[in-house]
Amino acid sequence: MDPRTLTSADFERLMKDPQFAQFNRENQTRSRQDWAGLCRFRSQDDSAAAAAERPRVVFMGDSITENWTMGDPELFEHGVVNRGISGQTTPQMLVRFRNDVIALKPRIVHILAGTNDIAGNTGPASPQDFKNNVMSMTELARAHGIRVVLGSIPPAAAFNWRPQLHPALQIQELNRWLRDYASRNGFDYIDYYSVLAGPNGEFKPELSNDGVHPNRDGYRLMRKQVARKIGVSEPR
């Protein structure tokens, strides 16, 4: 999370780490047995649903959301809960949306997705597939009286796990659609992209250590963008 430039030695050291290898094995097993991650938050969801005071805001997303707890743990206090799962695409999020969002009866859902759809993490996906899944999640939220906050897809010039792809233009195109869709439907839209992106659609290196995920400084800027929309304090 601390801002710095990663080198090949960092990745080599990570790949040789036995704890990381075990983490990868467990993730692969979970993905085979529970494709959508329905079991990931089941116990937390059950506890939250049974509590006298329900969560006020649910963050739904992928690793960029999941890692936010490490980058800015103070955000996920006082009724704000994190339901991000690393590597997930929008079809997976849609399958678990009832369990991880609707059942908790929050006032607000923050949806931040798209990076892994573009990367094809769960197979080839067209831009329309992404749009359909986002529309389905927002329609479900609206039908249950949950206010929707859509976050733009963060910038990326390349994915280290899909080096053959050049995602910058597609990210920009999908963000234009997200902004317009939010405007047409009365949803809040947060333009993280503009504060995180460099001139060529890359993630500013001082805000990301790997070109895809925010570091602590990146999350600080993101919290400034989202704070007023969901009623939390800006970072000190």
Which structural domain range is residue 63 located in? Answer: 8-230
Specify if 1 maps to a domain: no
Tell me the CATH number at 118: 3.40.50.1110
Specify if 16 maps to a domain: yes
Specify if 171 maps to a domain: yes
Please count the structural domains in the chain.
Answer: 1
Confidence of residue 121 (pLDDT cuts 50, 70, 90): very high
CB 152 within 8 A of CB 113: no
Confidence of residue 141 (pLDDT cuts 50, 70, 90): very high
> Which pLDDT value is given to residue 61?
98
Instruction: For 98-134, give one letter per residue: b (16+ CB within 10 A) or e.
Output: ebbbbebebebbbbbbbbbbbbebbeebeeeebbebb
Specify if 66 maps to a domain: yes
Specify if 122 maps to a domain: yes
Token readout for 136 is: 């389905």
CB 97 within 8 A of CB 140: yes
Specify if 235 maps to a domain: no
CB 102 within 8 A of CB 141: yes
Specify if 2 maps to a domain: no
Write phi, then psi, for 188 (nearest 5 degrees).
-75, 145
**Rounded distance between C-alpha atoms, residue 106 and residue 80, angstroms:** 9
Is 90 exceeded by the pLDDT of residue 82? Answer: yes
